[in-house]
């Protein structure tokens, strides 16, 4: 069985990626097995940050690696917190503090202007110097509520309303979230590219 390294230190994100990749028959190994080092996410785009995380994981493991860089873009905040989503309220990353800061930033903004989307960029490298990484993006549109709801998921899930379901992302089962989320969509797009690659 081929090994694939998952370049994430976020346990809940790792679980989602593992579930999405499980049917592929890879042996999935978190990058923490190889190195405790967390590369700095210094780039201005999700794609570049995903690449730098995947490249670091491929380098420390000597194996193919995949990374997700993701975040929440809020229309009324002109795309913030965006690539800074994990550290919106400062470092270290703290979901409750990030959600509190988002609610504060949107105080007084009516429902009609609380549109947002989750973004996921996936990058897959066969090795650290791979000149043709596979990149895929996935988006998930929704709306930011004015109070948290639900206990599943992570990050901004309790504030992210999926309008067609009338539920927040934190009220969905993990299986349903993976079927419709930004990360699920990006993964299906990535797998399609892999199938079509000459």
Ligand X SMILES: O=P(O)(O)OP(=O)(O)OP(=O)(O)OC[C@H]1O[C@@H](n2cnc3c(O)ncnc32)[C@H](O)[C@@H]1O
Contacts to Mg ion by CB under 5 A: 86
Which of 10, 6, 3, 102 shows the shortest CA–CA distance to 53? 6
> Do 53 and 42 touch, CB atoms closer than 8 A?
no
- Angle of helix 182-196 relative to helix 11-21, nearest 10 degrees, comes to 40
Distances (CA, A) of 62 to 3, 35, 40: 10, 12, 20
Report, in Å, the least distance between residue 160 CB and ligand X: 7
Q: Degrees (nearest 5) of the Cα angle 86, 121, 21?
A: 100
Which of 194, 115, 197, 123 shows the shortest CA–CA distance to 162? 115
Q: Is 98 a known ligand-binding residue?
A: no
Q: Is 81 left (phi over 0), alpha (psi -120 to 50) or beta?
A: alpha
Closest CB to Mg ion among residues 10, 193? 10
d(CA 114, CA 75): 7
Closest CB to ligand X among residues 34, 118? 118
* Chain contacts with ligand X (rule: CB under 6 A): 8-10, 13, 41, 68-72, 85-86, 93, 98, 118, 153-157, 169, 181, 183
Q: Is 69 a known ligand-binding residue?
A: yes
Q: Considering 3, 68, 69, 130, which one is annotated as catalytic?
A: 69
Q: Is 8 a known ligand-binding residue?
A: yes
Q: Of Mg ion, ligand X, none, which one sits near residue 181, judging by CB under 5 to 8 A according to partner kind?
A: ligand X
Q: Of Mg ion, ligand X, none, which one sits near residue 117, judging by CB under 5 to 8 A according to partner kind?
A: none
Residue nearest to ligand X (CB): 155
Q: Of Mg ion, ligand X, none, which one sits near residue 118, judging by CB under 5 to 8 A according to partner kind?
A: ligand X
Query: 3 catalytic, yes or no?
Result: no
Q: Of ligand X, Mg ion, none, which one sits near residue 73, judging by CB under 5 to 8 A according to partner kind?
A: none
Report, in Å, the least distance between residue 157 CB and ligand X: 4
Q: Is 152 a known ligand-binding residue?
A: no
Which of 3, 8, 1 shows the shortest CA–CA distance to 183? 8
Where are the alpha helices (H) located in 27-82, listed in sequence order? Answer: 46-61
Q: Is 129 a known ligand-binding residue?
A: no
Report, in Å, the least distance between residue 98 CB and ligand X: 6
Q: Is 34 helix (H, G, I), strand (E, B) or coil?
A: coil
Q: Which residues have a catalytic role annotated? A: 69
Q: Which residues are annotated as a binding site for Mg(2+)?
A: 40, 69
- Residues within the annotated binding site for substrate? 8-13, 70, 154-157, 177, 182-183
């Amino acid at each position: 069985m081929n090994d694939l390294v998952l370049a994430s230190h976020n346990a809940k994100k790792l679980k989602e990626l593992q579930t999405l990749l499980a049917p592929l028959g890879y042996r999935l190994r978190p990058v923490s097995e190889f190195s405790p080092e967390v590369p700095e996410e210094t780039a201005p785009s999700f794609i570049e940050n995903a690449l730098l995380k995947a490249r670091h994981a491929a380098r420390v493991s000597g194996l193919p690696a995949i990374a997700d860089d993701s975040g929440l873009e809020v229309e009324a905040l002109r795309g913030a917190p965006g690539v800074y989503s994990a550290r919106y309220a400062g470092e270290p990353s703290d979901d409750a503090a990030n959600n509190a800061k988002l609610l504060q930033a949107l105080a007084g903004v009516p429902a009609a202007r609380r549109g947002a989307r989750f973004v996921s960029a996936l990058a897959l490298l066969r090795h650290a110097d791979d000149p043709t990484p596979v990149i895929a993006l996935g988006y998930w549109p929704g709306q930011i509520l004015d109070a948290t709801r639900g206990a599943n998921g992570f990050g901004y899930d309790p504030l992210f309303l999926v309008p067609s379901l009338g539920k927040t992302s934190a009220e969905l089962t993990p299986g349903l979230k993976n079927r419709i989320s930004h990360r699920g969509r990006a993964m299906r797009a990535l797998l399609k590219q892999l199938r079509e690659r000459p």
